[in-house]
Amino acid sequence: MEERPCALLLKFPGTNCDAETARALEAVGFVTEVLPVSALKPEKLVGVSLVVFSGGFSYGDYVMSGRIASLVTEQKIGETLKDFRENGGYLLGICNGFQILTQLDLLPAGSLVENAGGRFQCQWVKMKNLAPKSPFLSHCPPEFELPIAHAEGRLVTRDATEAAGYVKSGAAALVYVDDVNGSFERIAGLQDETGRVFGLMPHPERFMKARDHYDPDWDGGEGGWGSGYYLFKSLFQAIKEGEAGEP
Amino acid sequence: MREIYEISDRFIEAGDANSLLYEPLAGGLTYRHTRRYELDYEGEKTAMEAFVRKTLLDEISQDLHAGEDAALKDYGFALEYGMKPGALDLEKEAILNYYRGISAPGFELKELRIRQRIYLFGGKGDDSGRFVRDICNAAIHQWKVLPGHV
């Protein structure tokens, strides 16, 4: 029987998108496990291909979004996530998960701070795929839409030139077409230098089917799938191909 | 020993203070928000400061101000508020739980008090009562209004 790659979704107090993210991952072929952070140990990553930090408001966003979750993760498993990445593992952070990944220093240096408008924003956004070879975006079109829902999604770096460098180097894998929240260089998603760590503010798990789109006549192409499906599908294919290529 | 730290956001500009109120005020007040942490501790100050920087500060987007004086200047007045003693302060609990999990912190955290500060800029007259009424909840909060620093 064909073995399916396993995705481990970490759940913190306040994480609230883990169930729908697990459903999205299962729809493309992953086996999933949602793990409360209280049960997190280095051994839990054995046999796992993908670690996911889902959206929500971990620890009530106290101190700053993602901060306590990143500290607790580090306290529980230390450098294990970095070793996991070095050994070929994939990490995905969505919304609050993206904030956690930046705090864990698994992505290029940056912080997600309050939107420039000072408000929680819940809307659909259009993005440009700047990394069509990314394992997370290879099946996604050059431009696509996803919903956002965040108060702290404005990506800032130490200075503006650093963010411009991310666009140049390819670290900025996704950028908003419009200036949505004041993010430097309109960055919506970042990847690390290996390409196996990816974080984004929009929610791909909320646009798995064409019927999830705000326009009832939206035609996304074959199969009635939404843009989020293609992101997860890209990842599944990359992991399967990687496993097939292993000696 | 006691140390006070105030953390302000580097990239967030002063916002319209009417967004904090149920009914808008005339006068064009703006505001900035900071978080203030008061730590009673014993042990190494360097270890305590390292804890503060790692736990409470984002080096990329925030500034840390140490000491009792206000982190921001030229304000009309400021409202400082926090949870009453005995009221559940979830931010404090999250920080203390993390602290308790550190194997050798190098200092003993005896007490942690967390306060939010809203600095109001511009406007005429004393509108602090409106902000106290709309922001603070007498059932759970303690607060004080700080006079202007203009």
Instruction: Of A157-171, A174-188, A198-212, B12-26, give the lowest mean pLDDT range.
Output: B12-26
pLDDT one-digit tens code per residue, B83-98: 999 899 999 999 999 9
pLDDT one-digit tens code per residue, B49-82: 999 999 999 999 999 999 999 999 999 999 999 9
pLDDT of A185 reads 97
pLDDT of A244 reads 63
Contact check, Cβ <8 Å, A68/B95: yes
Ordered alpha helix ranges (H), chain A: 18-28, 67-77, 80-86, 96-103, 160-169, 227-245
Q: Torsions phi, psi of B135, nearest 5?
A: -105, -40
Share of chain B above pLDDT 90, in %: 87
Average pLDDT over residues B93-122: 95
Distance CA A80, CA A91 (A): 12
**In which residue are the tokens 């005339």 written?**
B26
Distance CA A118, CA B32 (A): 11
Q: Is the ipTM of this complex over 0.85?
A: yes
Say which residues have a Cβ less than 8 Å from residue A121's Cβ, sequence separation at least 6. A115, A148, A149, A150, A151, A153, A180, A181
Residues of chain B positioned with their CB less than 8 A from the CB of A156: 11, 60-61
pLDDT one-digit tens code per residue, A66-124: 999 999 999 999 889 999 999 999 999 999 999 999 999 999 999 999 999 889 999 99
Q: How far apart are the first and last CA of chain B?
A: 31
Contact check, Cβ <8 Å, A64/B58: yes
Q: Which domain holds residue B64?
A: 2-146
In the predicted model, is pLDDT for residue A164 greater than 60? yes
Q: Model-level pTM greater than 0.80? A: yes
Distance CA B98, CA B148 (A): 36
Contact check, Cβ <8 Å, B56/A60: no
Closest partner CB to B60 (pick from A63, A72, A156): A156
Amino acid type, B100: R
* Two tokens, residue B117: 């500060």
Total tally of structural domains belonging to chain B: 1
For the annotated catalytic residues of A, the residue numbers are 95, 203, 205
Q: Which helix (H) or strand (E) holds A49?
A: none
In the predicted model, is pLDDT for residue A180 greater than 70? yes
Three-state DSSP state, A136:
coil
Nearest Cα of chain B lies from the Cα of A70 at a distance, in angstroms, of 10
pLDDT of A216 reads 87
In the predicted model, is pLDDT for residue A247 greater than 80? no
Contact check, Cβ <8 Å, A113/B12: yes
Nearest Cα of chain A lies from the Cα of B37 at a distance, in angstroms, of 11
pLDDT one-digit tens code per residue, A181-231: 999 999 999 999 999 999 999 999 999 999 999 998 887 767 889 999 999
Residues of chain A positioned with their CB less than 8 A from the CB of B58: 64, 67, 111
Residues of chain A positioned with their CB less than 8 A from the CB of B98: 68, 71-72, 75
Residues of chain B positioned with their CB less than 8 A from the CB of A159: none
Asked if B63 is an interface residue toward chain A (Cβ–Cβ < 8 A), one would say: no
Q: pLDDT averaged over chain A?
A: 94
Domains of chain A: 6-245 (3.40.50.880)
